[in-house]
Amino acid sequence: METKLIKTGKFIDGKEVLAIELTNTLGTYVKIYNYGAIINKFIVENKHGVKQDIVLGFDDIDQYTSDDYLSNYPYLGAVIGRYANRIKNGRFSIDGKTYQLSQANGGDCLHGGDIGFDKKVWDVLSTIDPSVTLQYISPAGEENFPGNLTVQLTFKLTDDNELILDFKASTDAPTAVNLTHHSYFNLAPKGGSIANHIHRIPASNYLEQDDNYVVTGKLIPVEGTIHDFLGDKAIGQDWNPDEGYDQTYVLDKPYGELTLASETSEADSGLKLSVYTTEPVAHFYTAKYLDVKRGKGGEDYHPYGAFCVETQHQPNAINVPEFTGTVLRPGENYKQTTIYKIEHT
């Protein structure tokens, strides 16, 4: 079990980008950058005894900041904050005061605004084999969110092949917080479409969305729809091949209880990824808009070449009173745990 801290020689806003390498006794290897808290590599042994990287990313840190990549930006492997997913019209109110955020994607705010936590260099607070704790202090007014927000994210790799993500946050003024991680997974040895991956989500309902993917507050039963993943099913079995999936699933569990959010397996590799979370929902995205040139090994990444399971509070919850609260106040502590567990089928 080991943690290594490696200098990249790259500086952003005067802060050095570092690579943190975590290795367990099974030989599983995770590489994380303190830029965007990006999970750059997640290498595991498949059923053939071959080491296989199950996340999308780049071989060179400079590619994460290139103009070409940012022009059609998919948030590869990055943390999302202050607010995951979309806020309707980029606007919300707390205690009678309205805050207007940046607007994109049809007038809504997406993933924290123009420069979210995914584009910040986080401080490395500590490294304890095999884990690392990163911290970012978001100043009041950043992306027009109120309050100074202190966020800590600990990555820990266990000998049970679990990568544990523990989020904590506190604020000095009431603010809106909804954090998640945006890793893109593909369990096939040679990549390609994830249509044949077998997927399960223990969720009896999903959230209605408007034409711009903003949730409205209405729950829709999955029964009888293409969104039913209560049992094992190939991802591509029922989907519209021109749309895939980009939906938020309401997990059949109490909020705060650490239980299964999704389970995905792939026959050729014999790998299974189980996601556990304390969060109330999981947003399932099959990468419709993925279009990345020269990823790892020079491979181009195409639509439906990966899937994301983004555990979080309900998107746009700040504007839907019935949803789990996303207002954090002084003296309160935001906490979230999500686990990526790898096994053989």
Widest CA span in the chain: 59
Q: How far apart are alpha carbons 108 and 101 in whole angstroms?
A: 9
Q: Are residues 206 and 250 in contact, defined by beta-carbon separation less than 8 angstroms?
A: yes
Provide Rg for the chain, Cα atoms.
19
Instruction: Give the residue from 115, 118, 123 showing the smallest Cα distance to 145.
Output: 115
86-103 core/surface letters (b: 16 or more CB in 10 A; e: else): bbbbbbbebeeeebebeb
The SS3 of residue 206 is strand
First-to-last alpha carbon distance for the chain, in angstroms, is 25
| Burial class of residue 257 in the structure, from the number of CB atoms within 10 Å of its CB (0-12 exposed, 13-18 middle, 19+ buried) | exposed
Q: How far apart are CA 80 and CA 116, in angstroms?
A: 7
- Give CA separation, 9 vs 12, 19, 309, in Å: 10, 10, 32
Which residues neighbour 78 within 8 Å (Cβ) at sequence distance 6 or greater? 36, 37, 38, 117, 118, 181, 182
Given the structure tokens 């979230």, which residue do they identify?
336
Residues 6+ positions from 106 with CB-CB distance below 8 Å:
211, 212
Active-site residue set: 182, 310
The CA distance from 69 to 245, in Å, is 23
Among candidates 319, 324, 314, 327, which has minimal Cα distance to 145? 327
